[in-house]
């Protein structure tokens, strides 16, 4: 049992894993240094941190909801949760505020090269995006094709439409290309998705 008494565990991905990936990628051709073997979640979190520090936007990842059953309060030490369960979330992972706009999005990655399986979404995420759209939020998904090193901002309206088509099991890459905005990965921030959100907001008007 490994104990991490302080610091964040960032959802089971230790920094050592990433360092390892980086080292092993080092001699490969066409290496893109900007994403440094990071997961999409890490890229978004790092970008949100940058946007926050620069007073550009306030976007946070929501914590995973946990149902706590048993907590110990040891003397002279902080509380330890001894029994708890993962609960179903009722929203998407990210929301926040940018220039007065409410942003709400879900981030998904796939190793597929030609399509994005819709089963990557949970029904509660689709319902939540639809509810936020009705309140005039800026709602979208960030889809990363890992093997292609491509990132898309796909409007929630398109995702909801496809989800409701029961005969549809996945979105082809070309469907995504023609219904999304592509994000080019950057350096500061790692994933400059707000540049693309600006375009999305303009087109929406």
| Under rule CB under 8 A, residue 81 binds its own copies | yes
| Under rule CB under 8 A, residue 187 binds its own copies | no
Which residues, 43 to 62, sit near its own copies by CB under 8 A? 52, 55, 57-58, 60, 62
As measured in angstroms, the least distance from the Cβ of 136 to its own copies is 3
Q: State the Cα angle at 39 between 147 and 87, rounded to 5°.
A: 120
> Is 93 one of the annotated binding-site residues?
yes
| Under rule CB under 8 A, residue 93 binds its own copies | no
How far, in Å, CA of 149 to CA of 73, rounded?
A: 46
Size of the site for its own copies (CB under 8 A): 51
Residue nearer to its own copies on the CB measure, 155 or 185: 155
**Can you tell me which of 50, 104, 121, 150 binds its own copies, judged by CB under 8 A?**
104
Contact 171, 118 (CB under 8 A): yes
**Can you tell me which of 13, 17, 24, 90 binds its own copies, judged by CB under 8 A?**
90
Those residues whose C-beta lies under 8 Å from the C-beta of residue 68, and which sit 6 or more positions away, are 81, 83, 84
**Can you tell me which of 38, 44, 126, 132 binds its own copies, judged by CB under 8 A?**
132
Which of 165, 167, 124, 162 lies closest to 143 in space, CA to CA? 162
Residue nearer to its own copies on the CB measure, 86 or 187: 86
Which of 61, 62, 30, 31 lies closest to 47 in space, CA to CA? 61
Those residues whose C-beta lies under 8 Å from the C-beta of residue 44, and which sit 6 or more positions away, are 61, 94, 107, 142, 191, 193
| Under rule CB under 8 A, residue 68 binds its own copies | yes
> Is 91 one of the annotated binding-site residues?
yes
Residue nearer to its own copies on the CB measure, 83 or 177: 83
| Residue in this structure with the two tokens 């995702």, named with its chain if needed | 159
Measured over the CA atoms of residue 84, residue 85, residue 90 and residue 92, the dihedral's sign is positive
Footprint on this chain of its own copies (rule: CB under 8 A): 1-5, 8-9, 12, 52, 55, 57-58, 60, 62-70, 78-87, 89-91, 95-102, 104, 128, 131-132, 134-137
């Amino acid at each position: 049992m490994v104990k991490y008494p302080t610091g964040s565990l960032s959802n089971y991905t230790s920094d050592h894993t990433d360092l390892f990936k980086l080292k092993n990628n080092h001699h490969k051709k066409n290496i893109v240094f900007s994403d440094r073997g990071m997961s999409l979640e890490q890229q978004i979190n790092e970008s949100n941190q940058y946007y926050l520090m620069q007073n550009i936007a306030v976007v946070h990842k929501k914590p995973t909801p946990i149902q706590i059953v048993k907590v110990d309060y040891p003397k002279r030490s902080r509380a330890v949760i001894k029994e708890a369960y993962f609960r179903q979330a009722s929203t998407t992972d990210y929301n926040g505020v940018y220039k007065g706009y409410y942003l709400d999005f879900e981030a998904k990655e796939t190793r597929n090269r030609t399509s994005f399986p819709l089963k990557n979404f949970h029904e509660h995420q689709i319902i939540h995006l639809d509810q936020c759209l009705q309140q005039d939020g800026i709602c979208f998904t960030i889809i990363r094709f890992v093997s292609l090193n491509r990132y898309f901002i796909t409007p929630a309206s398109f995702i909801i439409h496809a989800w409701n088509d029961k005969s549809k099991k996945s979105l082809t890459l070309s469907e995504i290309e023609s219904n999304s905005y592509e994000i080019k990965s950057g350096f500061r921030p790692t994933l400059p998705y707000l540049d693309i959100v600006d375009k999305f907001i303009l087109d929406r008007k």
